[in-house]
Amino acid sequence: MPRNGQIEAFKNMLNAMNEANVLNGVIIVGSWAEYLYKHCNLLDYLLTMRTQDVDVLIKNMNKPSGQVSKALQQHGFIMIPDNNGLMKFDYLGELEVEFLLQERGVGQNKPYKTALNVTAQGLRHMDILLEYCITVNYNGIDVEVPMPFAYILHKLIINSQRQPYKQEKDADAVGSLFDAISDDVRNQMLLVYKTELTKKERIAIIETCNRFPEILEKIKVLLLNDTTPE
C-alpha cells in the first residue's frame, strides 16, 4: 500500500495536471492505475507492492498543449533531468512522475519533446492501453486509466522485456487483477486477444503464461480453450 505522503503527492500531481487542463490528454498507467482500480471501486482486490514512480502515458505528443512542467513545479515538484534529457518530477522524495509515449516507426533513442512541455520516453505496445481506457473519479477529479483487461494484456505482452524480478512482480499483479474481473470483462479480454492483437503479441502472452504457470494458468486456459468461432 502507498504511504500517506505518497498519496498526498499523487493527489498533488493530479491537481497540478488538472489545473493545467491536460488530464484529458493522459492516462495513468503502471502500478498507480492498480491503486485507482481499487480506490475508485472499479475492482475489489488485494493490491500488490507499489514503488515510488507514477507513469503517465501521453495520448498524443502534439496535443493538448499545456505547461505541465511549470504546473508541477508550482505544486512543489522538482524536476530531475537525466543525462538523456528525460524529465522526471520528484515530490519531496516521496513520489516520482515520469511521462511515456507510444513509440511509432523506427523510434528514437532519446526522449520525445511533447506539447505538454515535458519530455517523454517512447515505449512499444502501448496501443492497447490507449485504445481501451476508462475514466474514474478520484477525489473529485476525472482521471483516465486503462481498462483492467487491457492492463492485464499489456503486462503479459511486455513481460519478457522486463527485468526478471519485475516479470514475477507483474505476473503476481496480473494474476490478482484477473481474479477480480468479471466474466463479462474476461470475455471482452478474450475478444480483444483474438481480434486486435498481432500474432507476435499473442505468442508473447502465452509465453508469459507458460513462464508463470502457477499464477497465470487460468489466463492461458481462458485464451486458448475458447470454443467460440473467430
Partner 1 sequence: MAYMLDVLNEEYDRLISKKDFYMNLMKNLQHGSIQIKKINGRKYAYLCYREKGKVVSKYVPKEQLEKVRNEILQYKQSKTALKNINDNLKLIKKVL
Options 1, 5, 131, 207; binder of partner 1; rule CB under 8 A: 5
Nearest to partner 1 of 80, 141 (CB atom): 80
Instruction: Give 221-224 contacts, CB < 8 A, sequence gap 24+.
Output: 222/186, 222/189, 222/190, 223/190, 223/193
Instruction: Give 186-192 contacts, CB < 8 A, sequence gap 24+.
Output: 186/149, 186/222, 188/147, 188/149, 189/149, 189/152, 189/153, 189/222, 190/222, 190/223, 190/226, 190/228, 192/128, 192/132, 192/149, 192/150, 192/153
Q: Does 201 engage in binding with partner 1 (CB under 8 A)?
A: no
Q: Does 78 engage in binding with partner 1 (CB under 8 A)?
A: yes
Nearest to partner 1 of 15, 21 (CB atom): 15
Residues between 163 and 182 with contacts to partner 1, criterion CB under 8 A: 163-166, 168-169, 172
> Interacting stretch for partner 1, rule CB under 8 A, among 46-54, 97-105, 200-208, 215-223?
46-54
Residues whose CB is less than 8 angstroms from the CB of residue 106 and which lie 6 or more positions away in sequence, other chains included: none
CB 163, min distance to partner 1, A: 8
Options 15, 18, 21, 52; binder of partner 1; rule CB under 8 A: 52
Q: Give contact residues for partner 1 (rule: CB under 8 A).
A: 5, 49, 51-52, 76, 78, 80, 90, 92-94, 96, 163-166, 168-169, 172
